[in-house]
Amino acid sequence: MARLRRLSCPGLVHHVLQRGHNAQAVFLDDDDRRAYLGALHEAVRADALALHAYALLDNQVQLLLTPPSEAALSHAMQSLGRRYGAAFNRRHARSGTLWEGRFRAGVVQEGPCTLACLRAVDGLALRHGQAESARASLWTSAPHRLGVRRDAWLSDPPEYWQLGNTPFEREAAYAALLDQGLDDALLQRVEHACAHGWVLGSPDFMEQLAGRVGRPVAPRARGRPPRCTAEPPPGGTQTA
């Protein structure tokens, strides 16, 4: 069976996954991580993508991005992969591919599904035991949304702004959501959509998008998928 072309939908959020070849480490130290973030910054700036979230694990990267055109995402990710891969090989005196083939990307519906993906990326290091807390996960965008630091190059999506009327309210509500975590079934759906290039959204959204792109946007259904909803945090203003 021919491989489906990657979905790339201008103006919609995309959940992106880059893995190391054969699960090998793509970051050996913090200098590597700083170099990757520098290359990422340049790539998204050059192709005018909005970067909403990032998480750097030892052997993988997850991103949340909105491209302005159909070609922008692929161009930016290819540029990023080549630039960082070459720098990594030079620095560590190695050769060969660093990444596991093509990057993976799934399209995400606005609203609760985007908020779910934001939480999934910002909570990635914590779930994998590479941070003691969301606030301490220095190589993710979580500290930016928890008031620990400000990453001026990040673009907070509307779903984050809707968590409160003041920075303190938004930070507190988002902290509660990260502490709460995602339901296991929803987290599996988020990860599966990203890893396999499917769409994360409601049946109506997926049907409309399938007609727009002219290809399947989800695997054949085996029952009703979990909705992108979550219980509101204590004292928060979430309305998903």
Task: Spell out the domain ranges in the chain.
Answer: 13-213
Residue 7 vs residue 183, higher pLDDT? 183
- At residue 234, does pLDDT exceed 80? no
Structure pTM?
0.89
Instruction: Tell me the CATH architecture of domain 13-213.
Output: 2-Layer Sandwich (3.30)
β-strands 199-200, 104-108 pairing: parallel
- Residue 180: which of 238, 111, 114 has the closest Cα? 238
- Residue 128: which of 10, 22, 25 has the closest Cα? 25
Percent of the chain with pLDDT over 70: 90
- At residue 39, does pLDDT exceed 80? yes
Query: End-to-end alpha-carbon separation of the chain, Å?
Result: 38
Mean pLDDT score, 136-150: 96
Give Cα separations from 95 to 36, 89, 183, 201 (angstroms): 18, 6, 41, 40
- Convert the pLDDT of each residue in 120-135 to its tens digit: 999 999 999 999 999 9
- Convert the pLDDT of each residue in 3-29 to its tens digit: 667 788 999 999 999 999 999 999 999
CB–CB of 36/27 below 8 Å? yes
pLDDT tier at 224, thresholds 50, 70, 90: low
